[in-house]
A and B are shown apart, each in its own frame.
Chain A
Amino acid sequence: MLLITCPICGPRPEIEFRNMGEAHIARPTPEGTSDDDMAAFLYLRSNPKGLIAERWRHVHGCARFFNAVRHTVTDKFVTVYEVGAPKPDLAALAADLAADLAAREAGR
């Protein structure tokens, strides 16, 4: 079970939360949007092996939505941030993680 840090309530066990899928997928306006773009909004997901920006809801706590960046191989959270904040630079975060790992390897 994951330990998830709600920005409002602090660290709580995963069963208090509901994962709400990939974050930063903006709904297009129906007018003038092609079927392909609408399908992409509804169904296509990046499903990355690596860092993912995703939505969580602390449904059995404060009930608030928030966003998080998590690594989908280690399941470790990198950061949590508020809904409406810009999407973090996942490539830069991944580079930081790789640098951290390299530093730890070097120190060993």
Chain B
Amino acid sequence: MRFSFASLLRNAFSAHTGWPEQWRSPEPKAAYDVIIVGAGGHGLATAYYLAAEHGITNVAVVERGWLGGGNTGRNTTIIRSNYLWEESEALYDHALDLWQDLSQVLNYNVMYSPRGVMMLAHTVHDVQVSKRHVHANRLAGIQNEWLSPEEAKAFCPPLNISRDIRYPVMGAALQRKGGVARHDAVAWGYARAASALGVDIIQNCEVTAIRRGPDGAVTGIETTKGPIGAKKIGVVAAGHTSVVMGMAGLRMPLESYPLQALVSEPLKPVFPCVVMSNTIHAYISQSDKGDLVIGAGTDQYVSYSQTGGLHITTHTLDAICELFPMFRRVRMLRNWGGIVDVTPDRSPILAKTPVKGLFVNCGWGTGGFKATPGSGHVFAHTIARDEPHPKNAPFTLERFRDGRLIDEAAAAAVAH
């Protein structure tokens, strides 16, 4: 059923009791053309583009928990494409292009809101690095501009630009096309659209083994709901990628860390944009519901605990209170952690693997949400054609062996 003004009106008259389920919940078939492991935003987007753009509809998305219940439902929903290197600029800007009309394409309101992402600079070094980013981006045709402290305050009035704070604001880089989207709606929208095209989304189905044939190629997976056959498997398991890839005997250049976020009690609209500070480690925006959405940093050790230390969030709130003094008396409602898979160069891996038929989309680290549409789009291309899309061709596993790193350490959302 398509959402339209007429369908909304019709269902309003029946007290909204007539809406059907938005996606099917089938039992797994014996075999599929493609299995996607992980029903987060990236996995569901991959399945959707496989069906919509490559005509491969005999696809299963298997998920250990419920769809969108991992990092897709835990992130701070920031969207931007102002990365430093050409490879990343192309990949993230591809995603930014797809965000523009995603709600119309999926017929599902993902509440994409290009309200501007402003990244603060607090030291001379920050200023130099930020300006380098601005210049690199403009050369590549990516929107990004430099603001003085006064211009930054004009764009975001709650910002404290006094000179006597511990880390004074010395300027900011602003990407006006950046913004936020409703993260759950992204997962739901892709799930609904993929399901409508024939993709089976199988939740509460944990992968326990990857089956290989005598030639080493994959032949399917073992799951808690029984074996499922497939000649192509795409692993999109975020923090658990090392675990799943280990089932195929592969060691990955990944380490998994808890990344935390928190939300405040709901407030009237007070905060017009997204503000990030890499140096003092805080990012903040206000959701349409009214709560302040605040992102903190990662813990320093490998962990799958989905919690993280409280001193990390405390440190972030110190920064928030100094930058935005009006939030000092705001109460925080909830905090949580997600497990992010971090690569040595802080760039993702979207590639074929040494195992025939096995593909991997991982390593998005602390900032994968923004790339969801682009990631799914190029990964579907990689699986369908058995060769990478030009935009993800540099993001191979072999780049670590060949020394072709895409070193976005300084460009990532948090200081490393």
Q: Interface-forming stretch among B43-51, B114-122, B297-305, B378-386?
A: B297-305
Most chain A CB neighbours (cut-off 10 Å) among B243, B304, B402? B304
Complex CA–CA separation, A38 to B302 (angstroms):
22
Stretch at the interface among A66-74, A78-86, A89-97, A100-108: A66-74
Q: Which residues of B contact A48 (CB under 8 A)?
A: 242-243, 302
Complex interface: stretch among B158-166, B213-221, B248-256: B248-256
- Given A1-B310, A43-B400, are A72 and B302 also a contact pair (CB < 8 Å)? yes
Give the complex CA separation of A40 and B400 in angstroms: 9
Using Cβ atoms and an 8 Å threshold, which residues of chain A touch B309? 1-2, 14
Evaluate contact between B305 and A75: CB separation under 8 angstroms: yes
Contact call A19/B254, Cβ cutoff below 8 A: no
Q: Is B289 an interface residue (CB 8 A)?
A: no
Q: Does A52 interact with chain B (Cβ within 8 Å)?
A: yes
List of B residues within 8 angstroms of A72 by Cβ: 256, 302-305
Is A47 within 8 A of B256, CB to CB?
A: yes
List of A residues within 8 angstroms of B303 by Cβ: 72-73, 75
Q: Number of A-B pairs whose CB atoms are under 8 Å?
A: 69
Residues of chain A from 20 to 34 with CB closer than 8 A to chain B in the complex: 21-22
The residue in chain A whose Cβ has the minimal distance to the Cβ of B311 is A1
Whether B304 and A39, one on each chain, are in contact in the complex, defined by CB atoms closer than 8 angstroms, is no
Q: A18–B341 Cα gap in the complex (Å)?
A: 19
Report how far A39 CA is from B256 CA in the complex, Å.
19
Q: Given the complex of chains A and B, what is the CA–CA distance between A46 and B254 in angstroms? A: 8
Per the 8 Å Cβ criterion, residues 259-317 of B in contact with A are 300-305, 307, 309-311
Q: Mark B51-72, 1 if CB is under 8 A from A, else 0.
A: 0000000000000000000000
List residues of chain B with CB within 8 A of the CB of A39: 253, 400-401
Interface residues of A (CB under 8 A from B): 1-2, 14-15, 18-19, 21-22, 35-36, 38-40, 42-49, 52, 54, 70, 72-75
